[in-house]
Amino acid sequence: MSRQFTPKVVTANALLEGDVVYLTEDDRWTREHREAELIEDEAHAQIRLVDASARADEVVGAYLADAIPGPNGPEPVHFREVFRTRGPSNYAHGKQAD
């Protein structure tokens, strides 16, 4: 049996501001992690990543990040991804300020 696939979201940085963005199910880039498409199938995840990476005039450095379902939508797993949803811890800058 193949190992359990951890669900993923597609994330990247916006080309113009560098801000963290996530791919939604309807192919928008959102700044909110909870609006991201939670991808539960490995093959589908790869296809979504290829699609996202092709949008080179919108985003930079797309990759798949682990996520889990939460009450308001997908939630990040690794602390690095948690920080990316917020911004730095020394100033109220980045997403947490919006």
Partner 1 sequence: MYSYNEFDEAFVRERVAQFRAQVERRIDGSLTEDEFKPLRLMNGLYLQLHAYMLRVAIPYGTLNPDQMRQLAMIAERWDKGYGHFTTRQNIQYNWPALKDVPDMLDALADVGMHAIQTSGNTIRNVTADHFAGAAADEIEDPRPYAELLRQWSTDHPEFQFLPRKFKIAVSGAKADRAVVRAHDIGLEIVKNDAGEVGFRVLVGGGLGRTPMIGKVIRDFLPKEDLLPYCEAVVSVYNLLGRRDNKYKARIKITVHENGIDEVRRQVEERFALLREQFGGADQELLTEIRAAFAAPDLPARPLDAFERAYNSDPVFRAWADTNVTEHAAPGYGLVTISLKAHGQTPGDATGDQMRVMADLGEAFSHGELRISHEQNVILPHVHKSDLPEVHARLKAAGLGTANVGLISDIIACPGMDYCALATARSIPVAQQIATRFDELKLEHDIGPLKIKISGCINACGHHHVGHIGILGLDRAGVENYQITLGGDGTEDAAIGTRTGPGFAYDQIVPAIEKIIGAYLDQRDAPEETFLQFYKRVGMDPFKAALYDAEEKQRAA
Among 15, 24, 34, 38, binds partner 1 (CB under 8 A): 15
Footprint of partner 1 on 58-77 (CB under 8 A):
60-61, 77
Whose Cβ is closer to partner 1: residue 19's or residue 32's?
A: 19
- Say if residue 12 is exposed, middle or buried (CB neighbours under 10 Å; 0-12, 13-18, 19+): buried
Half-sphere exposure of 62 (CA within 13 A, CB side): 21
| Alpha carbon 1 to its chain's center | 28
Beta bridge partners of 23: 29
Among 9, 10, 20, 36, binds partner 1 (CB under 8 A): 20
Q: Which two tokens stand for residue 34?
A: 């909870």
Least distance to partner 1 from the beta carbon of 18, Å? 4
Least distance to partner 1 from the beta carbon of 1, Å? 24
Assess 26 for contact with partner 1 (CB under 8 A).
no
- Answer whether 10's CB lies under 8 Å from 25's CB: no
Q: Which residues bind partner 1 (CB under 8 A)?
A: 13, 15-20, 56-57, 60-61, 77-80, 83-84, 87-91, 93-95
